[in-house]
Each structure stands twice: as structure tokens, then as C-alpha cells.
Amino acid sequence: MRRLPVVVLCLILAAVAAANTPRPVVEIEGDVYSYRPADNGAGPMWCHGSTCLVRIGETVFASGLETLADAEPLNNCRWMLFARTDRGWKKVGFDEFGRTREPCPLAGFADGPLFLSANPTLAPNAYAGPAQPKVLRFDAGDPTRVPQTLRPVWSGQPKFTEHSYRSFAADGPGRELILMQNVGYTHAEWSFLDRDGRWSAQGRLVWPWGAEYTKPQPIRICYPNVAMKDRAVHFCGVSDIIEPNETWRAFKKELTGREWDYDFRRLFYTWTPDVTSEPFRPWVEIAGREKTCGWVTPGDLWIAPDGDVHILWTERALDERLRDRFFPDARQSHSLNYAVVREGEVRTRRTLLAAEENISNERPGRGRFHVTPDRRLFVFFYVSGHDATGRSVSENRLLEVGPDATVGPAVRVPLQKPFTEFFTATVRAGSPPSKTLELLGPRHGGGHTISYARIRID
């Protein structure tokens, strides 16, 4: 067989790479609402493990958080609901009576209805206290109508508070929902809404046990990404406990004057093949930065048609405040990471972008998956810092992950203002796969304003 000249082969490979490089086209970009900080420890993006953006047919819905001027923290907010058609955004509802601390995530089905997870306080005049979770069912065709209130059924009588750390996920094709909400530092309660409209299964997800700590304790898991498909539920979140290393905790107190400082260093995953009949499997630690007091942040999770679970997260290598004293030779890094898990085993692991001390300084922020109707998988993420020439960088990028976990080239998304944080219209909340990526969140230089963008992927 005759061999192709090297130059021709290189041109062919370049053409193939160009054909597989995503070409994002910004179709819409603009503001949805502005807010006043509530000073209660939360904010409009606080429920980032779930989403506040859902598409149903030709309408996209967004939930917002309004701070009430006449209310004191912690429960000094209420939810708002917005709808966008071809005529733009319109506020279609708000909570007239309930008061809450946290934003209220959304879920929905392809042709409706729309669901909003609320957690109103039962003690509106107290600083903190009990809360009563509920789900509001909106008519997607007329969201201004009074929603139906659904009361989740729990196992026993859990003592919920304004700090819900809740997760809200939907199986869109299966028309089923799951709501998970933390109780203290021991476990999460969950309740399953089946396709017949019944809360037909309930249970507890008990946290992993930190036997290796000086004082063994449960490892509370927060800000999780939760996905459900055919009643299989997958859960991936980060440790969130008061600093367990007593030496580091004492040193941090010297720096801050506070008795507490929280650990966000370990990424844990668990799953059940059928939440209605099988227990959650033993916890698996996907990533950790325990040795150098680093930081881990969950990003996203997607269940592929073959059952593989794709996980996205970011890491910061170390807490620089502690470096000189405890690990002087350690180098700082910031990375966006990706893994594929099957049956609790990590099969593939990739670093999608890393900024390393004295080497590079293009720092990746949180990323999200986006799935198209033909099941192509993209990662959308934020990048800040400086490039190799010293030029300031603040932009969003998009790359594709192939079926064999190969990673394609990242391209800049030509937004007028990049999104520094963002929700997406994700399949985890029932939105259908789409050739358009939809975003909700704050933009660089946007102050206290939440914006929206729609991006077509050619």
C-alpha cells in the first residue's frame, strides 16, 4: 500500500480535529434580575449542586432569590419565578407568605409540569429554627396560576432547619423526582415521587464514617450533584465538617479568631441501582486534598446510556495560609478534573485544565456537563488568571469529551461578559438534551445581577 506523504497526513489530521472542535454561537445574552445580599450565609447560587434553570417546551423557567428589606437573617428571603418566551423574561410568581434562607431549585418534565423545591421556615421571627420542606407544582402552560403544594413523605419525623443543603433531581423521561435534605451532621433524608404522583419510597442516606480522624465522626456531605435514571440514583458531594485536624484548627483560630473553620477536602460518591428497593452502596472517595489542607468543589454528574457515571469537579491543592508552617515544599495548583465511574470503581480519570505554581496561571473554575440529543458530551467552564504572555484571562470555554473519554480541544465561548458561576438547563433536573446550552448566573463585572445566555453548539 502506498503511504501518504507526512504533509498530507498532517493536513488530514488537522481537518479531522477541526471538524470535531465545537463552534459555540451565542444567541441570547442578558440580565434576568438583580438582588441585594441577604448576609445570611447563602445567596442565589448557594444550591449549586442542583439547578434554578429548567426548559419545558418553548419556555425556559428560572427561580430567583429576593432579599426582604423588613426581615432579619437568617430567613430573610423568598423565592421568585421567572419565565422566558420569545418575548423575553417575565416574573410570573413569588412567595407571598413563606420566608426562607436558601434559593429554591427547579425540576420539570418535557411537557410539564414545573416543580419548585421550597423550604419555608416555621419560625419567621427567630434567627434560626425548624423548617417544613415542600414541593410546588406549577402549570407550565400558565405558571401564574396558584401552584399545587406537594408535601413529601419522610421516614419518621426528621427535624429540618433553614440550613437544608437539599438536592432536587428529576428523571425527565421517567417522570419521577427525588428530594434529598440534610439533617444535622449525621445523614440526609430522601423522598421519592413516582410517576403516579405518590411519595412511594423514603429513607436515609447515612454519611461516611471518618474513622481516621483524631476524633472519629460522621463526614457530612454537602453541595452534592444528584442524578436519577430508571430509579437508579447517583450522589456525589464534598465533605463539610468543622476542621478535623486539631493542629490545623488551632492554627486557623490564631489567624481568624474563630472557633470554627470548615473542611471541603474530600469528594465522596455513592449510588443505588433502585432507590425504591435497594440500599445505597458503600461510599467511594473519588478525590481528596487531605495532606495539604486543600479544597474540592463538586461540579456535575451525568449518567451515560451505558450506565457509566461521568463526574466533574475542581481542586485547589493547598491552603496557602498553612504552607510555610506545615508543608513548605508543597506547590499550589488549581485543576478541573473528570472521571468515569462504573459500579463504584473509577475507570478513567483526566485533568481537563490545571494552573500550576510557577508554570501556568490559567485557573479553571467550576464546570458543567452539557448533553446533546445525539449524546455528545461537552464541558462548559470558567477560566481566570493570566496566560503565558501575562495577558489577563476571564472567559468561558467549551470542550468535548469523546465516548472513550478522549478530551478534545477547548475553545473560547464569545460571550460579551463571561459567567463566573452558572446553573444550566440540565438533564439532571428533567430538561431534555439539546443542541443549545442555557446558562443562569452572575457574569464577570455584573455585580449583584443574575444573567441568562443561550449558546448554540454547531
Mean per-residue pLDDT, 273-286 = 98
**In residues, how long is the chain?**
458
Full domain range(s) for residue 304: 46-357
Mean per-residue pLDDT, 331-357 = 97
Question: What pLDDT shows up at residue 12?
Answer: 40
Task: Give the confidence band of 18 by pLDDT, cuts at 50, 70, 90.
Answer: very low
Question: What pLDDT shows up at residue 435?
Answer: 97
135 neighbors 179 (Cβ within 8 angstroms)? yes
pLDDT in tens, 142-198: 999 999 999 999 999 999 999 999 999 999 999 999 999 999 999 999 999 999 999
**133 pLDDT exceeds 50?**
yes
Contacts for 254 with CB less than 8 Å, ≥ 6 apart: none
Which of 402-427 are b and which e, b meaning 16 or more Cβ less than 10 Å from the residue's Cβ?
eeebeebebeebebebbbbbbbbbbb
Residue 394 domain flag: no
Residue 18 domain flag: no
Q: Look at the chain and report how many structural domains it folds into.
A: 1
* Location of C-alpha cell 432569590: 65
Mean per-residue pLDDT, 38-64 = 98
pLDDT in tens, 324-336: 999 999 999 999 9
Q: Are strands 266-272 and 284-288 parallel, antiparallel or unpaired?
A: antiparallel
Give Cα separations from 99 to 41, 122, 147, 162, 245 (angstroms): 15, 9, 17, 10, 37
Q: Give the C-alpha separation, 295 to 222, whole Å.
A: 13
**9 pLDDT exceeds 70?**
no
Does residue 5 or residue 90 have the better pLDDT?
Answer: 90
Stated as kind and residue range, the H or E segment containing 322 is helix 320-326
Q: Give the C-alpha separation, 95 to 134, whole Å.
A: 13
Residue 165 domain flag: yes
Contacts for 409 with CB less than 8 Å, ≥ 6 apart: 17, 21, 399
Side-chain-side CA neighbours of 413 within 13 Å: the count stands at 33
Question: What pLDDT shows up at residue 255?
Answer: 95
pLDDT in tens, 207-251: 999 999 999 999 999 999 999 999 999 999 999 999 999 999 999
Q: Give the C-alpha separation, 237 to 16, whole Å.
A: 37
Residue 167 domain flag: yes
Residue 189 domain flag: yes
203: domain CATH number is 2.120.10
Contacts for 346 with CB less than 8 Å, ≥ 6 apart: 284, 286, 339, 340
Q: How many percent of the chain have pLDDT more than 70?
A: 96
**17 pLDDT exceeds 50?**
no
159 neighbors 78 (Cβ within 8 angstroms)? no
Strands (E), 35-156: 53-56, 59-67, 77-85, 88-94, 106-108, 114-118, 134-138, 148-150
Residue 64 domain flag: yes
pLDDT in tens, 84-110: 988 899 999 999 999 999 999 999 999
Contacts for 36 with CB less than 8 Å, ≥ 6 apart: 67, 69, 448
Question: What pLDDT shows up at residue 20?
Answer: 67
Residue 282: how many CB atoms within 10 A of its CB? 8
Mean per-residue pLDDT, 360-371 = 97
Mean per-residue pLDDT, 123-150 = 97
Q: Which residues pair with 396 in a beta bridge?
A: 382, 413
Does residue 8 or residue 449 have the better pLDDT?
Answer: 449
Contacts for 360 with CB less than 8 Å, ≥ 6 apart: 354, 388
329 neighbors 323 (Cβ within 8 angstroms)? no
Mean per-residue pLDDT, 250-258 = 95
Dihedral sign, CA of 402, 404, 405, 409?
Answer: negative
**3 pLDDT exceeds 60?**
no
Residue 326 DSSP symbol: H
Residue 310 burial (10 A CB sphere; 0-12, 13-18, 19+): buried
Which amino acid type is present at position 248? W
Question: What pLDDT shows up at residue 11?
Answer: 46
* Location of C-alpha cell 451515560: 304
Task: Give the confidence band of 369 by pLDDT, cuts at 50, 70, 90.
Answer: very high
Q: In what order do the strands lie in the sheet with 106-108?
A: 106-108, 114-118, 134-138, 148-150
* Location of C-alpha cell 442542583: 50
**pLDDT, mean over the chain:** 95
Three cell numbers written together for 77: 428571603
Residue 181 domain flag: yes
Side-chain-side CA neighbours of 73 within 13 Å: the count stands at 10
Residue 272 domain flag: yes
SS3 359: coil
**321 pLDDT exceeds 90?**
yes
Side-chain-side CA neighbours of 225 within 13 Å: the count stands at 25
Mean per-residue pLDDT, 384-413 = 96
SS3 323: helix
